Amino acid sequence: MPPRVTQAQLRRQRRLERYQQVVALFRSGQSQAAISRALGIGRKTIRRWLRRGEFPERKPPHRAPPKVSEFVASLQACWQEGCHNASRATISLARLLRDAGHRDEAHSMLSEIYNWFTEGFDTPDLKDAKALPEELAT
């Protein structure tokens, strides 16, 4: 069975074909303005592609990491005020971070907060709080 082609791969292939068309037309003596009209691509794009001298790969999107420190401070304040659901909120937040691809942040946050506890380790919440960092570490 051949591997599945993703939409991103298809878009990249179309861009590569357009780039190759631009280079071929330019080498055949066409002006940048003529190439722009013929292919329906902006002149600035054509100029940028030709100046570069190679196919311009797209940069992967930058995903800023979540500001976990803000959550930790809130959870710590809640814990100091006697909130007993801090562990549940922390576990939920760690799972959200994990699902968003931020495993390291989830692991460090949950490990730090788990260390605040001095009792109640046999409760379901703290059992989950102990199991999740072990899962995230693998």
- Compute the distance between CA of residue 45 and CA of residue 32 in angstroms, rounded to an integer: 10
pTM: 0.46
- Compute the distance between CA of residue 81 and CA of residue 55 in angstroms, rounded to an integer: 58
What pLDDT, on the 0 to 100 scale, is given for residue 71? 66
CA-wise closest residue to 22 among 5, 38, 3: 38
**pLDDT category, 17, cuts 50, 70, 90?**
very high
Contact 41/35 with Cβ under 8 angstroms? yes
Q: What is the mean pLDDT of the chain?
A: 80
Q: Provide the token pair at 98.
A: 């994990």
pLDDT over 80 at 121, yes or no: no
**pLDDT category, 73, cuts 50, 70, 90?**
low
**pLDDT category, 108, cuts 50, 70, 90?**
confident
Q: What is the pLDDT of residues 40-67, one digit of tens each?
A: 999 999 999 999 989 989 887 776 665 6
